[in-house]
Amino acid sequence: MDVSARERTFNAGKAQAGSAWPIEPNARRTIGYLINRYPKVSHSFIRREILALEECGWSVFRLSLRGWDEELVDPADITERAKTIFVLRRGAPSLAMAVLRQAVRAPKRFLAALWLAMRMMRPSDRPFLWHLFYLAEACWIAPQLERRQITHLHAHFATNSTEVAMLVSVLSGVGYSFTVHGTAEYDSAPLVRLAEKVARAAFVVVVCSYARAQILRRTQPKDWDKIKVVRCGIDPAFAGTNSVPPSDSGRLVCVGRLSEEKGQLFLIKAIEALIEEGRKFGIVLVGDGAQRKPIEHLICKMNLAGCVTITGWATADEVRREILDARALILPSFSEGLPVVIIEAMLLGRPVLSTYVGGIPELVVNGETGWLFPAGSEGAMLHAVRACLDAPIDRLQAMGAAGRERALRYHSIDDQAEALSALFETAIGGGGRPCPAS
């Protein structure tokens, strides 16, 4: 099924974002999805997952805590916003009334949830009042699920959205699960009480084996069987792109949020050595974020305006064009789970230069589909860049072909949606139909 068909799978309902969502007549085929902010430019992988699950026969009730005023550029995200209910959109009075109703209607469950919210306050990286806000959000969500006879709620990211899902479970008896994506979640495991969230969940999804190992070391052995690897599914638009030979120029592209853990500032500092060697190359940074101003300052200071370009946020089509116009993708990350852009670059037949961190070595094979180097090693990174710039086009093309085959094998959106669907079926007791063949 093509992308446009996937995007039309579900009727958006009323034009006003989040104004309505039809009550599902067959509750056994309905699940709730809870995200802190959705849709969002950097969360296209969640959109793909939801649409693929709908193709598997599930109706997905989209809930977002915030994000109704998010600036969106992708038409698919704009369509998703019309399908999403926003918990905080109606403001504090709506939450206050929800708390009052829940306390009156089911006082024992409410007190149990209140006690759990208070336990979540210590230790925590959030002010204690935030956990009471999470309880209020849960009080608002619980009757929404009950009205639609939804018996399972899935959250993305192990932070506040999962805490809200856990509180909803205590208030209503609805089961929950969640997906852990990156290092920020398991690095802060004690602060977000990750072990308790795992213990109470029906199952937990991680995006690579490395992430599973990090969760295992922070949870009780009795809960280890709950932790399942379901890899990020690839965008069919990327999978269907015909192979285009890598650029004969020295153009490298780095796609991702401009942030400390992605290592873009480290990359810019290091390329001075290549310039002194007289090499002709260019680096395009696709993305935006907190590190943009420091990166721009360094570019100006080192007089690299003719060598380094920052595009800002880009749509999926723009990202695809930037990757296809490049010789290779470079991602000098200090910390990662498994970046989706690496999968996308490999699908487009581009070698990948990246670090031995997180789940990256599970996909990128050094010397076969790209070059890997130790994170934080300027010399090793420059050695990899030189090897890429010096490689003949036929070698780059062979690397790209090997990478595409590997990405298709491990990251089919249909295969991953089928695996996730099976987990929901087990948790709920059946309900989804088998995914159709691609």
Question: CATH number, domain at 256?
Answer: 3.40.50.2000
Residues 144 and 188 in one domain: yes
Give the bridge partners for 329, in sequence order: 253, 352
Residue 438 domain-assigned?
no
Indicate whether 218 belongs to any domain.
yes
pLDDT for the residue numbered 397: 95
Same domain, 213 and 254: no
What six digits make up the tokens of 197? 């969230």
Give the pLDDT of residue 134: 97
Which structural domain, as residue segments, surrounds residue 246? 242-410
Does residue 436 sit within a domain? Answer: no
Nearest to 396 by CA among 255, 252, 238, 241: 252
Is residue 117 located within the same domain as residue 259? no
Instruction: Name the domain count of the chain.
Output: 2
Q: Kindly calculate the radius of gyration of the chain based on its CA atoms and give it in whole angstroms.
A: 23
Three-state DSSP class for residue 37 = strand
Within a domain: 168: yes
Task: Identify whether 143 is part of a domain.
Answer: yes
Closest CA to 376 of 351, 352, 357, 363: 357
For residues 197 and 269, membership in a common domain is answered with no
Q: Output the pLDDT for position 237.
A: 67
Identify the bridge partners of residue 32 per DSSP, sorted by sequence position: 61, 153
Q: Are residues 186 and 269 in the same domain?
A: no
pLDDT value for 325: 94
Q: How far apart are CA 135 and CA 319, in angstroms?
A: 39
Q: Is-contact 33 62, C-beta < 8 A?
A: yes
Model-level pTM?
A: 0.84
| Whether 296 and 194 share a structural domain | no
Residues 306 and 416 in one domain: no
Residues 87 and 127 in one domain: yes
Query: Mean pLDDT by 10-residue block, N- to C-terminus, for the chain (438 residues)?
Result: 41 36 57 96 89 95 95 89 96 97 97 97 87 97 96 96 98 97 84 95 96 95 97 76 80 96 96 92 96 96 94 88 96 93 94 96 97 97 97 96 93 92 90 40
CA dihedral 372, 376, 377, 381 (to 10 degrees): 50
In a domain, 252, yes or no: yes
Q: Cα–Cα distance between 180 and 232 in angstroms, integer?
A: 11
* DSSP per-residue letters across 247-293: PSS-EEEEES--SGGGTHHHHHHHTHHHHHTT---EEEEEB-STTHH
Same structural domain, 258 and 162? no
Q: Specify the DSSP element, H or E, that contains 361.
A: helix 360-363
10 Å CB burial of residue 277 (0-12, 13-18, 19+) is exposed
Is there a domain that residue 69 lies in? yes
Q: Return the DSSP state at 26.
A: -
Is the residue at 435 inside a domain? no
Answer yes or no: do 419 and 388 share one domain: no
Alpha-carbon separation of residue 288 from 8, 57, 347 (angstroms):
30, 36, 23
Residue 53: the pLDDT is: 96
Q: What pLDDT score was predicted for residue 26? A: 52
Judge if 228 and 313 occupy the same domain: no
Report the C-alpha gap between 284 and 251 in whole angstroms. 7
**285 and 216, same domain (yes or no):** no
Determine contact, residues 210/359, Cβ cutoff 8 Å: yes
CB distance 295 to 285 below 8 Å:
yes
Please give the single-letter amino acid code of residue 137.
E
Q: How far is CA 241 from CA 48, 97, 344, 434, in A?
A: 17, 51, 11, 27
